[in-house]
């Protein structure tokens, strides 16, 4: 027979609450949509700390890339208002979302936005007035960060700047490299901005052999970052400049075999029209490697040539020739704007009908071309004067700025 005391001890036992392992919780959270994960930040301080942790933001981006949670970033310029608009849209089409507008009349040059790990980096400059502003935008969270000016930039003894956006995998942090030409010395200032501690620091770098710093201040064919190394293809050059954010050293790599820049071979007809004998190329990232897309053959022979640096150490380039179907060729200037991880090539068309953008996308596996349609919204942009400068695919990221 149980005593009264024994009965009390039996009924007073509390049920055990099982706690999920930390990695299981992170795995569940990493599969949530962005709106849901941002709401989870408001649950408690521990949840805010967990979701804001750099390791979790990296996990979330990795999961977004693997699950193809992609969207489109659109850069548009309206010549009637002289404003540049940044927009975003779902990857399968639909209405566009306004992110921000740049309308400062003091800026005379806007760089092409550079994409990396779901973030977008761009600069606004006016060399005559010494204005240099740099921004990092997260189109997923719609947050923007303006980089502070280095203390040394308060003087006027400097010339143009060049900025390169990269990611240091050894430290799991995004960085911006700045190369600033000095006016009164045959040297340059080289500094790195860390997106972890939000500060600039100066570094010492040797100039690569057979390279001149001034070539960085002209137009470039794009920059991409692969394995902590940012690559730049310079205008009119046959080589590619590389900067390693881990070792903080520059190097030069040979360009693809038989490549001749258009600027070195362009000839003109009697009526002044350019007759292109060289290659117009853009540096891209494709399947975890750097690649070069040559545009000229698209209109000449329906072919798109993509060169990929398959073996960086031995400088082995592999060429892929894509023959585009007739629907793609009939578009205006079907040049590749971006290559996503889904083996789909985003092409430019420049066609706007009413308030609808028509965007052609070519699938390398099915060898078919589809056209996506995006609506601008009433009164937002003027279809007659708007020009789309860039349309690129990005994976969702929750990295805080």
pLDDT digits (tens, 9 = 90+) for 322-357: 777 765 655 544 555 565 555 777 776 556 777 788
Strands 356-363 and 344-347: antiparallel
CA distance 69 to 396: 6
Q: Is the pLDDT of residue 321 over 60?
A: yes
- Tokens linked to 147: 């980089």
pLDDT the model gives residue 119: 94
User: What is the arithmetic mean of pLDDT over 57-62?
Assistant: 91
Is the pLDDT at 10 greater than 60? The verdict is no
Q: Does residue 275 have a pLDDT over 50?
A: no
Q: What count of Cα atoms within 13 Å lies in the side-chain half-sphere of residue 48?
A: 4
Residue with tokens 């500094």: 191
- For residues 211-223, one letter each, b for 16 or more C-beta atoms within 10 angstroms of the residue's C-beta and e for the rest, the string is bebeebeeebbbb
Cα 309 to Cα 288: distance, rounded to the nearest angstrom: 10
Other CB atoms within 10 Å distance of the CB of residue 230: 23
Please state the rounded mean pLDDT for residues 266-289: 58
Distances (CA, A) of 298 to 5, 49, 304: 89, 50, 5
CB 349 within 8 A of CB 331: yes
Residue 385 confidence (pLDDT): 77
Cα 88 to Cα 132: distance, rounded to the nearest angstrom? 25
Name the pLDDT band for 397 (thresholds 50, 70, 90). Answer: very high
**Does residue 224 contact residue 281 with C-beta atoms inside 8 Å?**
no
Q: How far apart are CA 301 and CA 95, in angstroms?
A: 35
pLDDT at residue 47 is higher than 80: yes
- Indicate the pLDDT class of residue 133, thresholds 50, 70 and 90: confident
Q: Given this model, what pLDDT does residue 137 score?
A: 94
> What is the arithmetic mean of pLDDT over 151-178?
79
pLDDT at position 1 over 60: no
Q: Token pair for residue 303? A: 């072919």
Q: Rounded distance, CA 341 to CA 70, Å?
A: 10
Confidence of residue 367 (pLDDT cuts 50, 70, 90): confident
Q: In sequence order, what are the residues at sequence separation of 6 or more whose Cβ sits closer than 8 angstroms to the Cβ of residue 257?
A: 317
Least confident of 30-44, 73-87, 209-223, 272-286: 272-286
Task: State mean pLDDT over 125-144.
Answer: 82
The mean predicted confidence, pLDDT, of the chain is: 77
The alpha carbons of the chain give a radius of gyration, in whole angstroms, of 25
- 102 or 142, which is more confident: 142
CA distance 76 to 389: 6
**pTM, 2 dp:** 0.82
């Amino acid at each position: 027979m149980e005593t009264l005391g024994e009965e009390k001890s039996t009924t007073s036992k509390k049920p055990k609450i099982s706690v999920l392992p930390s990695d299981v919780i992170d795995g569940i959270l990493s599969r949530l949509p962005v709106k849901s994960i941002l709401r989870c930040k408001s649950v408690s301080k521990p949840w805010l700390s967990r979701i804001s942790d750099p390791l979790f933001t990296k996990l979330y981006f990795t999961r977004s890339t693997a699950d193809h949670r992609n969207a489109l970033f659109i850069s548009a310029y309206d010549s009637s208002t002289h404003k540049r608009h940044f927009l975003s849209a779902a990857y399968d089409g639909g209405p566009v979302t306004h992110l921000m507008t740049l309308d400062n009349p003091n800026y005379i040059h806007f760089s092409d936005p550079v994409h990396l790990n779901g973030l977008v980096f761009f600069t606004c400059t006016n060399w005559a007035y010494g204005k240099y502003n740099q921004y990092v935008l997260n189109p997923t969270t719609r947050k923007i960060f303006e980089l502070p000016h280095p203390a040394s930039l308060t003087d006027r003894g400097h010339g143009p700047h060049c900025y390169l956006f990269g990611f240091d995998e050894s430290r799991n942090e995004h960085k911006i490299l700045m190369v600033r030409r000095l006016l009164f010395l045959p040297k340059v200032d080289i500094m790195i901005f860390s997106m972890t501690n939000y500060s600039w620091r100066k570094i010492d770098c040797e100039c690569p052999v057979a390279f001149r710093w001034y070539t960085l201040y002209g137009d470039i064919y794009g920059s991409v970052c692969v394995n902590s190394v940012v690559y730049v293809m310079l205008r009119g050059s046959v080589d590619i400049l590389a900067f390693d954010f881990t070792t903080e050293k520059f190097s030069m790599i040979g360009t693809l075999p038989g490549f001749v820049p258009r600027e070195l071979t362009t000839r003109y007809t009697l009526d002044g029209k350019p007759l292109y004998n060289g290659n117009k190329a853009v540096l891209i990232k494709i399947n975890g490697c750097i690649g070069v897309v040559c545009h000229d053959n698209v209109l000449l022979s329906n072919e798109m040539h993509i060169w990929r640096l398959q073996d960086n150490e031995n400088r082995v380039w592999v060429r892929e020739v894509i023959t585009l179907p007739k629907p793609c060729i009939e578009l205006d200037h079907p040049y590749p704007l971006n290559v996503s991880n889904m083996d789909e090539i985003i092409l430019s068309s420049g066609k706007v009908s009413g308030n609808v953008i028509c965007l052609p996308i070519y699938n390398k596996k099915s060898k078919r071309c589809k056209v996506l349609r995006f609506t601008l919204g009433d009164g937002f942009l003027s279809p007659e004067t708007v020009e789309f400068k860039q349309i690129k695919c990005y994976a969702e990221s929750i990295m805080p700025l």
